[in-house]
Amino acid sequence: MSQGLSLLFVVDPLPLLKAYKDSTVAMMRAAAARGHDIWACTPAELQWREGRVSARALRLQLLPAGEKAAPWYVELDAGARALAGFDAVLMRKDPPFDTEYLYATHLLSAAERDGASVFNDPRALRDHNEKFAVTEFADFTVPTLVSRQIEALRQFHADLGQVVVKPLDGMGGAGIFVLQEHEPNLNAILETVTHNGARTVMAQRYIPEIRNGDKRVLLIGGAPVPYALARVPRPGETRGNLAVGGIARAQPLSDSDRAIAEALAPTLAARGLLLVGLDVIGDYLTEVNVTSPTCFVEIREQTGFDVAAMFVDALEKAVSR
């Protein structure tokens, strides 16, 4: 684009971001390299008053990538600005999707009514629970049950043998249990994960191909990134999440990866989801991540493909419409 954009990133506190591997920082660097202005705020700094949503935001200068502990930005300016005054607002706050996250999406929807362009669309963020969203695309996933009834979960396990149970609001592998076919701790696990029937969970047939990795397939602007990042479990672990020590391995999309991505991409993009991270194990869809999908840096470092540049291309196109 001939003229730089003013971009506001709604993020976790900047000192908490691990710049050397953070996908949001990669986005900021790619956008700044094209002459776009980079601003940042946290959800706590959003406020509505008299029909307008504003935030106290910082304008940043992105420093060259250095050592892990090296400073990665300089504050150039700060002040309260209406979100509608930015060319784009990017919601990149990490889960958990708790009540404060929900309220932030309501504030962002109010900002849209005032004229702001928000990515991902806040209504779509509310409508797409990252676990439950797979139920809309059941043809691509394994047998699944969503319930908080312990007896229903027990019967699902009896019918299918080895299954996985997980909370609907978890992230990074937290709260995931693999129930073996002859599980001696079945009742205790189901009571724990459902909080004795008070919390709804998802159960899915276990997919043995997890040993080859839980693949993150990125959709940007309705198109798949040509490489997935397989998160391979370490020995003795059943979860591939990087947060619990999974080994990251970038690889070209398989035929089934691409088929799933191309089937879902038009629907998700039409809902205002500029960036989506599909989780695929073997040939099966397991999650649809929309809050703050990652893996940009790992894919670029291992393949040379610049995911952040593809994202900024899509963002520029979306803003110019």
DSSP symbols for 127-161: H--TTGGGGGGGGGS--EEEE--HHHHHHHHHHHS
Full domain range(s) for residue 182: 143-206
Same domain membership, residue 254 and residue 235: yes
Q: Is residue 1's pLDDT more than 70? A: no
Q: Is residue 2's pLDDT more than 70? A: no
Residues 186, 144, 233, 25: is their CA dihedral positive or negative? negative
Q: Is residue 246's pLDDT more than 90? A: no
Same domain membership, residue 225 and residue 185: no
Characterize the bridge pairing of strands 118-119 and 201-205.
unpaired
Residue 316 lies in a domain: no
Same domain membership, residue 85 and residue 15: yes
Q: Average pLDDT in the 132-158 region?
A: 97
Residue 292 lies in a domain: yes
- State the total domains in the chain: 3
Poorest-confidence range of 124-128, 165-169, 213-217, 293-297?
A: 165-169
CATH number of the CATH domain containing 296: 3.30.470.20
pLDDT band at 241; cut points 50, 70, 90: confident
Record the pTM. Answer: 0.94
Q: Average pLDDT in the 90-116 region?
A: 96
**What pLDDT score does 91 carry?**
98
Nearest-angstrom CA–CA distance, 90 and 37: 13
Cβ contact 138:144 at 8 Å? yes
pLDDT band at 235; cut points 50, 70, 90: confident
pLDDT band at 169; cut points 50, 70, 90: confident
CB burial string 262-272: b at 16+ within 10 A, e below: eebbeebbeeb
Domain boundary among 169, 191, 206: 206
Q: Average pLDDT in the 151-161 region?
A: 98
CB burial string 203-242: b at 16+ within 10 A, e below: bbbbbeebebbbbbbbbbbbebbbbbbbbbbeeeeebbbb
- 316 phi, psi to nearest 5 deg: -60, -40
CATH number of the CATH domain containing 201: 3.30.1490.20
Residue 311 lies in a domain: no
pLDDT band at 319; cut points 50, 70, 90: very high
Same domain membership, residue 229 and residue 296: yes
Residue 301 lies in a domain: yes
- Residues with a known catalytic role: 131, 166, 216, 231, 239, 279, 287, 289
Nearest-angstrom CA–CA distance, 210 and 13: 33
Q: Average pLDDT in the 87-111 region?
A: 96
Q: Is residue 305's pLDDT more than 60? A: yes
Same domain membership, residue 17 and residue 115: yes
Q: Is residue 110's pLDDT more than 70? A: yes
